[in-house]
């Protein structure tokens, strides 16, 4: 069924691309504009003006330490390993602690524990870090914290229990609905990649006038990188690119991006003129190998699945450290075992390369780029590589704050807005920095819910509320883009 569907989907795409203009008029949404030549890159000398006065030094945050010299071992975070033969990684007894970092020296101690492979860090800001404690290290770390007088709260006392409860099977009513709909996608469950891809193809088949799907490349393990486009075919449209799932374990991200796709495709006629006047491009799963790996083997896997090099035990590059703008700077590691391994060179990974080549060679008038991650509830704009902001940072700040306001009005979640390096910590090689450097104005990394109660293991009942309030934010972005 897979290849047949693909043929049906792609056939109109090829005909509209290579045949007469009459075909374009009949199915305007099918025409994906490409350019022969590559866009001129953003002027790199312009980007260092207007540095932010960093109120706090954040580069010491342990999970994002610069990769220099002996510090490189600090972020090796192998909390548990699957037994040979890809048995599932078991997190029984592992705990999540919220650790206050306001006391001097706490980050140094966390760094030490991390080097001893007793803990991993999930997320945090200037005042706290969420720390995952390895199952057999709980007593040991408790002793260290008590001796050093470090305050913390136990947020999750058995991580495996949470993982087991996170994604329950659908009830009978939902399964019946699923069977009637023509695709298996719901927003009551975290779905496997196949359900997501079949859903995209379903929409292209069902709404051929506005929806089309194109495979822009393959992952390391050969999975499709599928982009869905929604467009009324007006050649003067601005375009917005949205992706999700760069980090494998952030399941709420592909769930949210597919929710957007569903809402826009199913209700296109009722959308505002602003909204309809945009060409929407979605890549819901940038890292399909990692995503499948989190379903099958290790729920907490973050990177892609390419082996660093032959003979090394460590797999995977952090795709969000592999993009080619200021690659290899702060907050990225040169150690292949690190969670934030930057790769052997910029765009060394097929997934980041395909995404960047698609954006570079598309003639779409990209005016905004949103990349969805979790967690923490942040709207972050460039730059990520260091404490600096682009010349138009005030515009980004205004739009970000308006998006945050719409989110809060709709669903109640409070998002913080700022530059990623200023609000969190420097991290170079991010997709947002690279896209901004291509001249795409409204570029944001969105860290979805929550703020650390469940972290990455967000129960499925949260999918719809999170996605719905995010969609309200997207409508605000669309209104700004249409004004450009
Ligand atoms: Zn992420």
Burial 305-343 (b: 16+ CB within 10 A, else e): bbebeeeeeebbbbbbbbbbbbbbbbbbbebbbbbbbbb
| CATH superfamily, with its number, for domain 65-166 | Metallocarboxypeptidase-like (3.30.70.340)
List Cα–Cα distances, 406 to 401, 412, 470, 472, in angstroms.
Answer: 9, 9, 8, 6
* 65-166 has the same fold as 2-39+168-483: no
**pLDDT for the residue 87:** 85
The CATH number that domain 2-39+168-483 falls under is 3.40.630.10
Catalytic-role residue among 74, 339, 447, 469: 447
CA 246 to ligand 1 centroid distance, Å: 6
pLDDT tens by residue, the chain, 484 residues: 344 444 444 444 443 333 333 333 445 456 688 875 444 444 333 333 322 222 222 322 333 333 333 333 334 444 445 444 568 999 999 999 999 999 999 999 999 999 898 999 998 888 899 999 999 999 999 999 999 999 999 999 999 999 999 999 999 998 988 888 889 999 999 999 999 999 999 999 999 999 999 999 999 999 999 999 999 999 999 999 999 999 999 999 999 999 999 999 999 999 999 999 999 999 999 999 999 999 999 999 999 999 987 666 789 999 999 999 999 999 999 999 899 999 999 999 999 999 999 999 999 999 999 999 999 999 999 999 999 999 999 999 999 999 999 999 999 999 999 999 889 889 999 999 999 999 999 999 999 999 999 999 999 999 999 999 999 999 999 999 999 9
**CA 315 to ligand 1 center in whole angstroms:** 17
CA 373 to centroid of ligand 1, rounded, Å = 4
Length of the chain counted residue by residue:
484
* 174 labelled catalytic: no
Evaluate whether 122 touches 455 at the Cβ level (below 8 Å).
yes
CA pair distance 17, 294, nearest whole angstrom: 37
What residue spans define the domains of the chain? 2-39+168-483, 65-166
**C-alpha–C-alpha distance, residues 219 and 168, integer Å:** 28
**252/244 Cα distance (integer angstroms):** 9
Cα of 181 vs centre of ligand 1, distance in Å, is 31
Residue pair 238/229 in contact (Cβ under 8 Å)? The answer is: no
Distance CA 374, CA 264 (A): 22
Specify the pLDDT at position 165: 96
Taking the CA atoms of 9, 34, 29 and 463 in sequence, report the sign of the dihedral they define: positive
Q: Which two tokens stand for residue 80?
A: 């548990």
Q: Cα of 177 to ligand 1 centre, how many Å?
A: 32
Q: Which two tokens stand for residue 119?
A: 């803990």
């Amino acid at each position: 069924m897979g290849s047949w569907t693909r043929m049906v989907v792609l056939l109109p795409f090829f005909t509209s691309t290579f045949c007469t203009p009459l075909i374009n008029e009949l199915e305007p949404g099918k025409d994906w504009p490409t350019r022969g030549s590559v866009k001129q890159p953003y002027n790199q000398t312009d980007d260092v003006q207007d540095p932010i006065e960093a109120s706090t030094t954040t580069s010491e945050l342990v999970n994002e330490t610069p990769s220099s010299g002996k510090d490189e071992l600090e972020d090796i975070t192998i909390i548990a390993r699957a037994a040979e033969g890809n048995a599932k990684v078991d997190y029984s007894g592992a705990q999540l602690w919220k650790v206050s970092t306001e006391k001097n020296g706490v980050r140094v101690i966390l760094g030490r524990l991390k080097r001893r492979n007793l803990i991993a860090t999930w997320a945090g800001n200037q005042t706290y870090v969420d720390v995952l404690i390895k199952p057999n290290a709980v007593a040991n770390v408790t002793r260290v914290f008590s001796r050093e007088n470090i305050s913390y709260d136990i947020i999750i006392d058995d991580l495996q229990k949470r993982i087991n409860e996170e994604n329950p099977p659908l009830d009978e009513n939902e399964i019946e609905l699923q069977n009637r709909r023509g695709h298996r996608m719901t927003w009551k469950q975290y779905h496997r990649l196949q359900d997501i891809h079949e859903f995209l193809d379903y929409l292209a088949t069902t709404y051929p006038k506005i929806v089309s799907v194109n495979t822009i490349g393959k992952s390391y393990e050969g999975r499709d990188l599928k982009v869905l486009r929604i467009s009324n075919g007006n050649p003067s449209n601005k375009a917005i690119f949205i992706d999700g799932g760069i980090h494998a374990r952030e399941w709420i991200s592909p769930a949210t991006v597919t929710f957007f796709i569903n809402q826009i495709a199913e209700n296109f006629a009722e959308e505002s003129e602003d909204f309809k006047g945009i060409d929407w491009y979605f890549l819901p799963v940038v890292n399909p190998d990692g995503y499948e790996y989190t379903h099958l083997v290790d729920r907490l896997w973050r990177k892609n699945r390419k082996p660093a090099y032959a003979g090394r035990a460590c797999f995977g590059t952090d795709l969000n450290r592999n993009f080619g703008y200021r690659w290899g700077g702060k907050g990225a590691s040169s150690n292949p075992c690190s969670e934030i391994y930057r790769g052997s060179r910029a765009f060394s990974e097929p997934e980041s390369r395909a995404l960047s080549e698609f954006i570079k060679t598309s003639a779409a008038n990209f005016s905004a780029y949103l990349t969805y991650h979790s967690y923490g509830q942040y709207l972050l704009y460039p730059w990520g590589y260091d404490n600096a902001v682009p010349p138009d940072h005030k515009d980004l700040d205004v739009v970000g704050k308006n998006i945050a306001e719409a989110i809060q009005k709709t669903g109640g979640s409070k998002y913080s807005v700022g530059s990623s390096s200023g609000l969190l910590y420097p991290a170079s090689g991010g997709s947002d920095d690279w896209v901004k450097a291509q001249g795409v104005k409204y570029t944001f990394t969105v860290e979805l819910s929550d703020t650390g109660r469940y972290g990455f293991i967000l129960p499925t009942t949260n999918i719809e509320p999170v996605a719905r309030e995010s969609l309200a934010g997207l409508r605000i972005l669309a209104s700004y883009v249409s004004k450009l």
